A and B are shown apart, each in its own frame.
Chain A
Amino acid sequence: MNIKINGAVHEVSDDASVSSVVTSVTGRALDLRGQAADGGKLGVAVARNSEVVPRSQWAATPLADGDELELVTAVQGG
């Protein structure tokens, strides 16, 4: 299926979850609570179709064709 990640169309497997997309974009494995498995801070939040998905729900949130995900993080700003 096709979904949008930060405005660009990506093809993902039919069993993709928010968690699997975050891992593929950031390159970091996640535990079931949505924390980085390496013990560091992930610093990423996800909105799915303009609704924030709490990190604790990432693994349990399946995606549907046409979903629009926004992955945001902290950048320099005043």
Chain B
Amino acid sequence: MTTASTDIRTDDALVIDGVEFGSRLIMGTGGAPSLDGLGAALLASGTELTTVAMRRYSPAETGSLFQLLVDNNIRVLPNTAGCFTAKDAVMTAELAREALETDWVKLEVIADEHTLLPDAVELVEATEQLVNRGFNVFAYTNDDPVLALRLENLGATAVMPLGSPIGTGLGILNPHNIELIVSRASVPVVLDAGIGTASDAALAMELGCDAVLLATAVTRAQNPVQMGQAFKHAVIAGRLARQAGRIPRREHALASSAMEGRAEFL
């Protein structure tokens, strides 16, 4: 008799730019009240890749976040959060490459502070420039299948459609579009932004996403460590379900117990 295993297939690594990741959960580091708490949540989530923002060096804070990630063998993915133009995003990416010695960048070019939605025009422009400068661009994009394909064709390493606006926790508002993006992409698709709880992440994986990126759903949860664990399992569950092949949806009930052989009663 074989024993049931909850482990994900070991040959099912996520590969990006030749780098293998056992975990398909990418964590952001934003929103955590303390560095210690953040470290514990990151470890609980099992993440092997996390995003950071680039800001002015402050002696009071020190660079210990970067050191925390280095110490825990978690790869760093700098973002361009807070950039409204392609010009700012390219400059921020260049600084991140220099500071953190990686040519990976999560490209965020937002339209305004109210929606934090990507500005498609600036995003396309920045993707083109950064690819030309040798960056691996992880493009944070709207859940727009046309735009996602454009970014891929411009040379993006991964496309990262939002489930819903950053920090809203509204989950995946347009699952059909996410499925459409996945079905046409030949680069990794990472569901990014809007995740509220574990089932949202499982759904993203069931829709065929290659990974899920989230931050505040864990860092601002009442118990970040426990929520980190929940997401770790949710991403594995969603991935397994996607590979296992779900049953088709039916309009009417279908009994799973045979009707023949029932006992007869007077």
Residues of A within 8 A of B (CB): 6-7, 25-27, 40-47, 50, 52, 54-55, 70-78
Say yes or no: A43 contacts B63, CB within 8 Å. Answer: yes
Q: Report yes or no: A47 in contact with B95, Cβ–Cβ below 8 A.
A: yes
* Residues of chain B contacted by A6 (CB below 8 angstroms): 56-57
Contact B67 A78 (CB under 8 A): no
Residues of A within 8 A of B69 (CB): 74
| Number of A-B residue pairs at CB separation under 8 A | 108
Docked pose: A43 CA to B193 CA in angstroms: 26
Residue of B nearest to A47 (CB): B95
Restricting to B51-88, which residues have a CB under 8 Å from any CB of A? 51-57, 59, 61, 63, 65-67, 69-70, 76, 78-79, 81
> In the complex, are the beta carbons of A45 and B30 less than 8 A apart?
no
Of chain A, the residue at the smallest CB distance from B53 is: A77
User: Chain B's nearest CB lies how many Å from the CB of A39?
Assistant: 12
| Residue in contact with B38 in the complex, picked from A50, A52, A74, A76, CB distance below 8 Å | A76
Q: Which residues of B contact A25 (CB under 8 A)?
A: 57, 59
Q: How far is the CA of A47 from the CA of B90 in the complex (A)?
A: 13
Say whether B32 contacts A72, CB under 8 Å: no
Bound CA span A7–B58, Å: 12
Contact with A along B89-117 (1 / 0, CB 8 A): 00100111111110000000000000000
Is A41 in contact with B70, judged by CB distance below 8 angstroms?
yes
Interface residue from A50, A75, A78 paired with B54 (Cβ < 8 Å): A75
CB closest chain-B residue, reference A22 = B57
**8 A-B pairs with C-beta separation under 8 A:** A40-B67, A41-B66, A72-B99, A73-B55, A74-B76, A76-B32, A76-B65, A78-B166
Docked Cα-Cα span, A40 to B62, in Å, equals 13
Q: Is B91 in contact with A74, judged by CB distance below 8 angstroms?
A: no
* CB neighbours of A73 from chain B (8 A): 54-57, 63, 66, 99
Residues of A within 8 A of B79 (CB): 77-78
